[in-house]
Amino acid sequence: MTKFIIQPESSTVNWTGKKILGLHTGTINIHSGYLNFENENLTGGEVLIDMTSIIITDIKDPQMYKDFFDHLNNDDFFSVDRFKTAKLTITQAEKTEGKYNISGDLTIKDIINPVSFTASVEIFTDFLHALGEIVIDRTLYNMKYGSGKFLSNLGDKLIHDEFVLQFKLIGQK
């Protein structure tokens, strides 16, 4: 078995959340993680996300930024004061046409749900480069604020239930 340790300083995670009249974007840092390989095939791994590192990249006005930042960090969304990390555990990976179909468990706010996504993974001797995107239904993690599933007559205040994480992971043996 070969283990690649994720290099947080070289890896990136970008997020996008959509609403009826637009979207918001930002970044979040990886705390730590690893990917396991057997005969150059991905077999498992774990990635820990630092929820205290959320940054919003599309809002420039300082007061609007603070209001939205506080909103993301409070109980309407991620409850960061109580849940400082989120975790992806890879339980299965199947290589198809040069990419991996990956299944695993995503833990946000101590709530675990299954996820699946596609990622490209390349190994260059002692280094690994992985790119992918995960679509997450926030309502499965008790984030109901602005959701049409739970509130009616939201009009242009409706927030889409799904948000997207796009990631680039750099790992080293």
What would the pLDDT profile of 62-104 be if each residue is shown by its tens digit? 999 998 899 888 887 889 999 999 999 999 999 998 899 999 9
Residue 164: how many CA atoms within 13 Å on its side-chain side? 10
> What integer pLDDT is reported at residue 143 of this predicted model?
73
Q: Each residue of 73-89: b (16+ CB within 10 Å) or e?
A: beeebbbbeebeebbbb
Residue 10 three-state SS: coil
Evaluate whether 31 touches 43 at the Cβ level (below 8 Å): no
Evaluate whether 72 touches 58 at the Cβ level (below 8 Å): no
Alpha-carbon gap, residue 38 to 44, rounded angstroms: 9
Alpha-carbon gap, residue 138 to 113, rounded angstroms: 11
Higher-confidence residue of 169 and 157: namely 169
Per DSSP bridges, beta strands 127-137 and 111-124 are antiparallel
> What integer pLDDT is reported at residue 139 of this predicted model?
85
pLDDT tens, residue by residue, 105-138: 999 999 999 999 999 999 998 999 999 999 998 8
> What integer pLDDT is reported at residue 156 of this predicted model?
46
**140 phi and psi angles, rounded to 5 deg:** -70, -15
Domain-by-domain residue ranges, the chain? 2-172
Residue 69 three-state SS: helix
The CA-atom distances, in angstroms, between 32 and each of 21, 35, 47, 62, 162 are: 35, 11, 6, 30, 25
Band of residue 37 on the pLDDT scale cut at 50, 70, 90: very high
Evaluate whether 132 touches 88 at the Cβ level (below 8 Å): no
Q: Does domain 2-172 have CATH number 3.40.190.10?
A: no
Residues 25-42 have a mean pLDDT of 95
Band of residue 144 on the pLDDT scale cut at 50, 70, 90: low
